[in-house]
Structure 1
Amino acid sequence: MIVTAGLSPAWQQILTFRSFELGHVNRAKSAHWCASGKVLNVGLALHRLCGHSRVLCVTDDGPAGTAMQAEYERQSVPTHWIKTQAVTRVCTTLLDEHTEQTTELVENAPSLNNDDLERFCEAFALETREATVVVLTGSLPSGVPSDFYRRLIESTSAAVIMDARGPELSEALRAKPFLVKPNVSELSKTVRRPLENEEQIWDAMRELQSQGAVSVVVSRGEEPMLAVFRDQRFVVHPATESVVNPIGCGDCLAAGIAWQLSRGSEFPALLKYGSAAAAANLQQLLPARIDVARVEELSHRVQVEQI
């Protein structure tokens, strides 16, 4: 069993434009709504990949929260919702077909009170009792202690994949998660210095290992992904695909890695399958609605190089 947990879901609007001009009236070619945010993207991708997963997430009974729950129910994703008074955020993605640029308008996750966090922790202990892999993902809402993820990791015996940045990631490293997967920008914010070349990225990854991470995976957009596992270094050359919507690719990467980890696969296989899941997501308009057959096909085109 794989459990995905997080505190920052979103009800997502995706607008596509033939072209987009800042400061002008722009009429959308199409508009779509879906449940999203890192925790829900990872959870949905895992459900499609393996079907042996559950999601633990907060929500409310307002319009956005109700719509989010309804879509997850239609997708038949096993979910433990923690009901709160915090209003579910709404985020917007703008896709410019002419320039192929993606713009995100991100509302911060709403604050949660101590009772919300206590009920979430109790549910986490219950849901992870038989879990072999746990994915903790998403930014912490304002007011949540930076050691929140660390305390969750310390409460489970499962292998933990961590997708966060900054203080919460630095704190979580003390609990020795199996894998952390920031992108370059998130890694830079965590080590608090610019990362201007590949060697500086490798050094920062080793720094995270020295603080407790068993392995580190760093995505770099169109550039090959970098990974370290214990004392081994890997470069992952992805399957090249046309871009429809890049939102959710990192979440599908985490889901693919988690699925293969739960199966006992070797580390290079984790990277290959995760990269394939990200590539499959890249070709879709809605995040994390990936097709297993397509992921399997793409996985044969991913090259993992040990250096």
Structure 2
Amino acid sequence: MTKSEVLTVTLNPSIDKTIVLPELRVGSLNRTSEVRLDPGGKGINVARLLHEFGVGVTAAGWSGGAEGEALMGYLKRDGIAASFTPVQGRTRTNLKIVDSSKELTTEINEAGAVVTEAELAAFIRDFTLLLEDVSYLILGGSIPPGVPDTIYARLAGIAREHGVKTVLDADGEALREGLQAVPFAVKPNIHELERLLGRTLASDEEIVEAARELLGQGVSIVIVSMGEAGSIAVSGQEAYRVKPFEITVKSTVGAGDSMVACLVHCLLQGKGLRDIAAWTAAAGTLTASKEGTQLCTLAEVQEHVHRVEVHSIGVHPL
């Protein structure tokens, strides 16, 4: 097995059940044309893509019940190293309903199992052991019931003590609290960043300024995703506005996770911010062009990254 360079944490993983319908008829009988089961959750999606990219990665989190056993089976099927701490509750199942006629995906997500204090303590012990020889920690996704919003800050703090850089992709209080531990990089979408700062960001200049507020707290890289409008990547020295190539959006599931995976891949490759901006945009765009929970591949990103438009935004170095 390849040595793990990256540890991903998915505190609220899922079995993602994708149901493809010729057409979704609400209130009527629907018959499927395809059904697919995949391991789900932000950290798991990142692990799936990093594994496809040839990066050594371990996925961690909580799992429980028959669904948890199935989750471990799917990760093993996909060749992903996994170290999940058991819980008494069951791993949730999230439903993705694909309407092929409209090329739209409807998501129905369960809340997840309640985690006890003992289960939290057990995970912290397991997590700390997994940090040995890891370069990057990926934290992202929802937090299960029973776990405090400060959990990402706590995990990032432990990682820092072990010399591990954290990439944070969270929302709400989990993002706000997580920033207190000064992660190396964050990838909010525009709505998450607006909620964090409590104001509307109506222009590229305002988005860059908002990102620089996070840099002022000690973050090194901020990538703000904006769906079809593209993204903005900012560091203390540079800022880039990215316009993706045109696609037909089939599902946004995993698009942000693909950007996070590509960010870490680029960091491990020693790429600069301009390349990071282009590669992350290509990855997110390609994943959005696929149905359900399908993710892009390294070959696809390499083939299409040249189609991404990257423009420098003049900034004064911090």
Question: Structure 2 length as normaliser, TM-score?
Answer: 0.89
- 1:185 Cα deviation (Å)? 2.2
Q: Is the 8 A contact 2:233 2:240 kept in 1?
A: yes
The residue type paired with residue 242 of structure 2 is: V
Alignment of 1:268-287 (within 5 A): 268-287=274-293
Residue by residue, what CA displacement relative to the aligned partner does 1:93-135 show, whole Å, maximum 9, x if unpaired?
1222222222211112322111222222222221122111111
Alignment of 1:204-243 (within 5 A): 204-243=210-249
Moved more, 76-85 or 262-271: 262-271
- 1:183 Cα deviation (Å)? 1.3
Aligned to 2:88: 85
SS of equivalent to 1:102: strand
Q: Is the 8 A contact 2:233 2:273 kept in 1?
A: no
The residue type paired with residue 52 of structure 1 is: G
1:4 aligns with 2:8: yes
Aligned to 1:136: 139
Alignment of 1:180-199 (within 5 A): 180-199=186-205
Aligned to 1:105: 108
Give 2:175's match in structure 1, choosing from 169, 175, 184. 169
Moved more, 157-166 or 266-275: 266-275
Q: Is the 8 A contact 1:135 1:161 kept in 2?
A: yes
In 1, Cα distance between equivalents of 2:205 and 2:272: 25
The residue type paired with residue 256 of structure 2 is: G
1:57 aligns with 2:24: no
Residue by residue, what CA displacement relative to the aligned partner does 1:203-262 show, whole Å, maximum 9, x if unpaired?
433333333422211111111211211153211122333333321111111001111112
Aligned residues: 306
In 1, Cα distance between equivalents of 2:302 and 2:214: 31
SS of equivalent to 2:97: strand
Moved more, 20-29 or 6-15: 20-29
Q: Is the 8 A contact 2:230 2:281 kept in 1?
A: no
- 1:19 Cα deviation (Å)? 2.5
The 1:196/1:267 distance shift into structure 2, 3 A limit, reads closer
In 1, Cα distance between equivalents of 2:92 and 2:308: 35
Aligned to 2:149: 146
Aligned to 1:31: 35
Residue by residue, what CA displacement relative to the aligned partner does 1:178-204 show, whole Å, maximum 9, x if unpaired?
111111222233223444554543443
SS of equivalent to 1:27: coil
Q: Is the 8 A contact 2:19 2:97 kept in 1?
A: yes
In 2, Cα distance between equivalents of 1:187 and 1:198: 13
SS of equivalent to 2:219: coil
Aligned to 1:246: 252
In 1, Cα distance between equivalents of 2:123 and 2:215: 28
Question: Structure 1 length as normaliser, TM-score?
Answer: 0.92
Give 1:45's match in structure 2, choosing from 28, 49, 54. 49
Q: Is the 8 A contact 1:252 1:288 kept in 2?
A: no
Aligned to 2:18: 14
Unmatched runs of 5 consecutive residues or more in structure 1: none
Unmatched runs of 5 consecutive residues or more in structure 2: 314-318
Give 1:290's match in structure 2, choosing from 274, 296, 299. 296
The 1:95/1:286 distance shift into structure 2, 3 A limit, reads closer
The residue type paired with residue 284 of structure 1 is: K
The residue type paired with residue 43 of structure 2 is: V
Q: Is the 8 A contact 1:48 1:290 kept in 2?
A: no
The 1:57/1:142 distance shift into structure 2, 3 A limit, reads same
The residue type paired with residue 185 of structure 1 is: H
In 1, Cα distance between equivalents of 2:132 and 2:74: 27
Residue identity (%) = 29
